[in-house]
Chains A and B, each alone.
Chain A
Amino acid sequence: MMLNQFLLLAAALFCIGVYGVLTRRNGVLVLMSVELILNAVNINLVAFGAFQDNVMGDVFAVFVIAVAAAEVGVGLAMVLLMYRNRKSIDFTEVDMLKG
């Protein structure tokens, strides 16, 4: 197998994730798109680890998974708080900091 086929697939997933983050208004869906991006990065890490024949990529991917889990926990808590205060999780309506 080529290294590039994994990298290109990961790049495509990354771009789809970016598209989701930019277009979606539902907070939960934005978080899901962020997960897509993190997974694309993980594919890259593991593919490079296999390419260089060491375990650095694997170790780093495991750390990324752990950090992603923490990020989802806090992010969903914030979305929940937002829903409780505003009865809506539309990210485009959160503009209190707008000047």
Chain B
Amino acid sequence: MIAALVAQAANPLTSSEFDIPENIAFAIIAGLMLFSAIKMVTTGNVMHAALYLVIVLAGVSALFILLGSDFVGATQIMVYIGAIIVLFLFGIMLTRAQMGDDDSVESERRTMGAIVGLLLMVVMGYALVDGFRNEELVFGEPEQVRYVVTEVALGDLPTPVRDAFDRFDGLPDSTMVELSEAEVEGLPIEVARRVPGAELFGNNKEIADSIFSQYIVAFEAVSVLLLAALIGAVVVARKE
């Protein structure tokens, strides 16, 4: 009788070493994004604003990848930089917006906008610093340990494993059961460690699973919304 048990290591949430490379990458990306965003909303040239927006969007995509969400990062590049920016450029060129100078913004509007933006930043910054003071982001799966159980009497096994055997009605070659460290203790088992980093980029499967099961209604609604937007854009923009 062979059962492979997957048990989670005790507490993976204590790795609080100062991860320098990630922070340097974050600082570079964040600085570039803030600079480009500010240039985007202040530059007089509309075409330049679109190109600064590209930098911001690419930075957002880089942040997604830094956060371990490579699927969303790739989607961001394809949808935003690939499609939406092109749409914006077409919009700029079709409306022949004053390519040179859009900077006729009254200084009154500009000061009001700056005041509103700064106040919003102060409020949100205070709330965030107050609310999430020292929360750490922990990446990667918690380290998993694969236990290979050989030649164990069924009675010795902890309840979850026995349930799994019952469920499969017999003895499959290997059964994966989540166990805590305490449940595994005392069992005659061999331990095979999981290869570290093997699932560094691995949440695509979970995303697909939840989109097509839990969020299937939202998914279908989005497809209808896109169709409606397509038809609506054509109807609105066509010539009489």
CA distance A13 to B136 in the complex (A): 21
The answer, among B22, B117, B134, B222, for a CB contact under 8 Å with A67, is B222
- Min distance, Cβ B158 to any Cβ of chain A, angstroms: 25
Tell me the residues in window 76-97 of chain B with beta carbons closer than 8 Å to chain A beta carbons.
Answer: 76, 79-80, 83-84, 87-88, 90-92, 94-97
User: Is B177 in contact with chain A by the CB < 8 A criterion?
Assistant: no
- Interface-facing stretch out of B48-56, B148-156, B161-169: B48-56
Tell me the residues in window 53-81 of chain A with beta carbons closer than 8 Å to chain B beta carbons.
Answer: 53-59, 61-63, 65-74, 76-81
Given A13-B37, A18-B116, A50-B67, does the pair A39, B210 have CB atoms closer than 8 Å? no
Q: Select from chain A the residue with minimum beta-carbon distance to B94.
A: A80
Known: A19-B41, A26-B98, A70-B229; 18 extra A-B contacts, CB below 8 A, are A1-B66, A2-B136, A6-B63, A19-B116, A22-B117, A24-B105, A32-B53, A39-B60, A46-B63, A50-B139, A55-B206, A62-B71, A63-B215, A65-B79, A69-B84, A72-B84, A72-B87, A79-B95
Q: Which 6 A-B pairs have the closest CB atoms?
A: A70-B229, A20-B41, A22-B113, A19-B117, A77-B237, A23-B113
The interface residues of chain B, by DSSP majority, are classed as: helix
B128 and A81 within 8 A (CB): no
Q: Select from chain B the residue with minimum beta-carbon distance to A9.
A: B30
A62 and B207 within 8 A (CB): yes
CA distance A76 to B88 in the complex (A): 8
Q: Select from chain A the residue with minimum beta-carbon distance to B29.
A: A9
User: Number of B residues contacting the other chain (C-beta, 8 Å)?
Assistant: 86
A56 and B210 within 8 A (CB): yes
B88 and A50 within 8 A (CB): no
CA distance A79 to B237 in the complex (A): 9
Interface residues of B (CB under 8 A from A): 19, 22-23, 26, 30, 33-34, 37-38, 40-41, 46, 49-50, 53, 56-57, 60, 63-64, 66-69, 71-72, 75-76, 79-80, 83-84, 87-88, 90-92, 94-98, 102, 104-105, 109-110, 112-114, 116-118, 120-121, 124-125, 128-129, 132-139, 203, 206-207, 210-211, 215, 218, 222, 225-226, 228-230, 232-234, 236-237, 239
A15 and B102 within 8 A (CB): no
CA distance A78 to B56 in the complex (A): 25
B137 and A2 within 8 A (CB): yes
The answer, among A23, A29, A46, A77, for a CB contact under 8 Å with B49, is A29
Given A11-B121, A28-B88, does the pair A23, B109 have CB atoms closer than 8 Å? yes
- Min distance, Cβ B52 to any Cβ of chain A, angstroms: 9
CA distance A55 to B11 in the complex (A): 21
Given A33-B41, A51-B137, A62-B72, does the pair A9, B120 have CB atoms closer than 8 Å? no
